[in-house]
Amino acid sequence: MRVILLGCPGAGKGTQAKLIAERYKIPQISTGEILRSAIKNGTELGKKVKAIMDEGHLVSDDIVIELVKERIQQPDCKNGFLLDGFPRTVIQAEALQQQTSIDQVIDIDVPEDEIIRRITGRRIHPASGRTYHVLYQPPKIADTDDITGEALIQRSDDSEETVRKRLAIYETQTAPLKHYYQHLKSTDQSEQGLVYTKINGIGSVDEIKNQIFSALEHGQKELSHAKNH
């Protein structure tokens, strides 16, 4: 099962990706995590990536494509994988299509005002990485970590101005992927068929998870039926 999870920043892709990976025993490949570890390790690439992300811009296709190509060739991807946050552009999708065929695309759809509420409310304890949300998961004392009592911060790329920039970039660069995959499905250019499903991203984690699992299972049946005919 080779799955792509689409959705704008803050749509809940990361949370759902972990649940899908666990259920279907496939690795979750998040370019965000690959890039963040490069930043944390302070490599030359990491410094370059940090500057780009702090500005609210996207990292170049070349850098991301190389990272992902390398990753999907690892032995743990033999039975499939879940891509979370990649591809971000049609160019990346075309590069990926040359490497491997994708079975299913799940698109988590959330309105812009809800995204802004979700992202700007996030607070982080820098030392441990513990995360809170001022509305949905507040700390016991405002702006203070529950365990250490140290101050929480808002990441620079979680400010409203940066979030609006990221959403505008998403609309221009990533939203066209929906049409790309719908077209790929309708023209049957993917080697073994492709199933594209849009999911309503408003609701509890469990409600969204159940919609996704049901879509994936339905999609696998559809693909299996197509292969046998």
**Beta-bridge partner residues of 193:** none
Is residue 229's pLDDT more than 70?
no
Q: CA 20 to CA 83: how far, in whole Å? A: 11
How much is the pTM?
Answer: 0.79
pLDDT of residue 106: 96
Rg (CA), the chain: 18
Report yes or no: 68 and 97 within 8 Å, Cβ to Cβ.
no
- How many CB atoms are located within 10 Å of the residue 42 CB? 10
Joined tokens for residue 184: 């790929």
Q: Collect all residues with Cβ–Cβ distance below 8 Å to 171 and sequence separation of at least 6.
A: 8
CATH number belonging to domain 2-227: 3.40.50.300
Report yes or no: 117 and 135 within 8 Å, Cβ to Cβ.
yes
Supply φ then ψ for residue 41, to 5 degrees.
Answer: -75, -10
Enzyme catalytic residues: 13, 88, 122, 155, 166
Confidence class for position 126, pLDDT limits 50, 70, 90: very high
Mean of all residue pLDDT scores within the chain: 89
Give the residue extent of every domain in the chain. Answer: 2-227
